[in-house]
Amino acid sequence: MALVVDAINKSFGQFQAVKNLSMEVKEGSLFGLLGSNGAGKTTTMRMILDIFRPDSGHISWNGKDVREIPRRELGYLPEERGLYSKMVVEEQLLFLAQLNGLSKHDAKIELDEWLDRFQINANRKKKIEDLSKGNQQKVQFLATILHNPSILIMDEPFSGLDPVNAIVLKDAFLEMHRRGKTIIFSTHQLDQVEEMCEDIVIINKGEAIVKGSVRDVRRQHGRNVVRLKLENDSEVLWLDTLDGVQVTKRRQDYIEMQMRSDLNPNVIIAEALRHNGIINRFELAEPSLTDIFIETVGKIALPDAPATVS
């Protein structure tokens, strides 16, 4: 039970937007699609949505080709937000929900519930252009979820929100997760990914360069980082003599070092005790996703070739 993307390719003219990309999104999971601007995230999303068709490769949902999934199973929040600016909130959402396959009656019930939850009931008769940006975002979010799709694909759902609205949207987001929706989203805020996502893929220049569960990814990219603080020795110069250990930072509060992954961090404790050190702090730190992102993408990233399709 999963969304399986199998070796898809997509080119626009000479520009290859997605190269041989494979990934698997478990049903009901929160999946992070990461990558720098122009890496091919949006194109990948559009292919999952069957707006574009891959030049080669295959995308399936629970074993069924994505082309055969009823459209109402898919909800899409595009990166560039847009609604009919002259249309009234209520009419707009009813129109989109009906277009997505809901009956008018059902659409109204859903609409009432969600407008309440988002506290924008007072704005239901207003034109979109008269709403604040935060409220426009909420309406946009509603346009994505109102027809109760099972797969949500959201391009940068939290960008440009003030902290209060970000929390309202994040709650709704997590609510959809609780309801068992499969959510694929892209973001540049990697701390959010660490907080919410189970699995991620990092795309660079159309290729998946990192993928797996957040925990695995962090582990695999550990270079085990150890932070050490000895009360009676602020320099801990003997660390430099250890094989497979490289000190990266000497700070007032701790010393940070990287260990070869085949070494057991206990070696450090043993050494410290042997040097009669009094251990104030011993910490095994996993690298943050930001570190991994910068390391993996930054290594490969070349000056961006202009993308023809955003």
Partner 1 sequence: MSNKTELKPTTEVASSHHNAEAVRSSGDTRSNTIRNIGLILRREYKNRVFQRSYIITTILFVVFALLGSCVPTVIQFFAARSNSQSHVTLVNNAGTVAGLNDEALTTYFSQRLNGNSNQSTASGQSNTKSHFVLNTSTVDQVKPLQKNITDGKLEVLLVLDRAAGNDVHFTYYTAAASLADTDLTQIQTVAGQLSVLDKSSHLGLTAAQTQHLLTPPDFKVVYTQPGKGGDSALTLAGGYFLGVIGTVLIFMSVYLYGMWVASGVADEKGSRVMEILVNAATPFQLLWGKIIGIGAAGLTQMLCLIVTGLVGLWLQKPLSMALNTNSSGFDFSYINTSTNLLILLLIYFILGFLLYSTLFAALGALVKRQDEVQNAVGPLTAVCMVGYMASFIGGSLGAGATWFKVMSFVPFWTPMMMLMRVATGSVSGLEIGVSIVILIVSILICSWISSRIYRMGILMYGQKPGLGQLVKILRQ
Q: Where on the chain is the footprint of partner 1 (CB under 8 A)?
A: 7, 9-11, 13, 16, 19-20, 22, 46, 49-56, 67-72, 74-76, 78, 80-87, 95-96, 98-101, 143-144, 207-212, 216-217, 220, 307-310
End-to-end CA separation in angstroms for the chain: 31
Q: Least distance to partner 1 from the beta carbon of 130, Å? A: 15
Separation between Cα atoms, residue 116 and residue 125, nearest integer Å? 14
Nearer CB in complex with partner 1: 85/189? 85
Q: How far is the CB of 297 from partner 1 (least distance, A)?
A: 13
Write down the least CB distance from residue 144 to partner 1, Å. 8
CA 260 – CA 245 distance, rounded (Å): 7
CB closer to partner 1, 107 vs 168 = 107
**Beta-bridge partners for 26:** 2
Please say which residue, 257 or 292, places its beta carbon nearer to partner 1.
292
Q: 125 or 249: whose CB is closer to partner 1? A: 125
C-beta of 16 vs 36, nearer to partner 1: 16
Asked if residue 172 lies in contact with residue 110, where contact means CB atoms within 8 angstroms, the answer is no
- Find the shortest distance in angstroms from Cβ 79 to partner 1: 8
- Residues 29 and 176: their CA atoms lie apart, in Å, by 10
Q: Shortest Cβ distance from residue 10 to partner 1 (Å)? A: 7
**Least distance CB 23 / partner 1 (angstroms):** 10
The amino acid at 279: I
Q: Is 84 helix (H, G, I), strand (E, B) or coil?
A: coil
Burial class (CB in 10 A: 0-12, 13-18, 19+), 307: middle
CB 215 within 8 A of CB 222: no
Taking the complex as a whole, the smallest distance from the CB of residue 238 to partner 1 amounts, in Å, to 31
> Minimum CB separation from partner 1 for residue 70, in Å?
5
C-beta closer to partner 1: residue 149 or 277: 149
User: Mapped to the 3 state alphabet, what secondary structure does 139-167 carry?
Assistant: HHHHHHHCCCCCEEEEECCCCCCCHHHHH
292 burial class (0-12, 13-18, 19+ CB within 10 angstroms)? buried
Instruction: Specify the DSSP element, H or E, that contains 230.
Output: strand 224-230
Of 82 and 180, nearer to partner 1 (C-beta) is 82
DSSP string, 258-293: EE-TTS-THHHHHHHHHTT--EEEEEEEPPPHHHHH
Closest to partner 1 by CB, 209 vs 269, is 209
Alpha-carbon gap, residue 2 to 192, rounded angstroms: 23
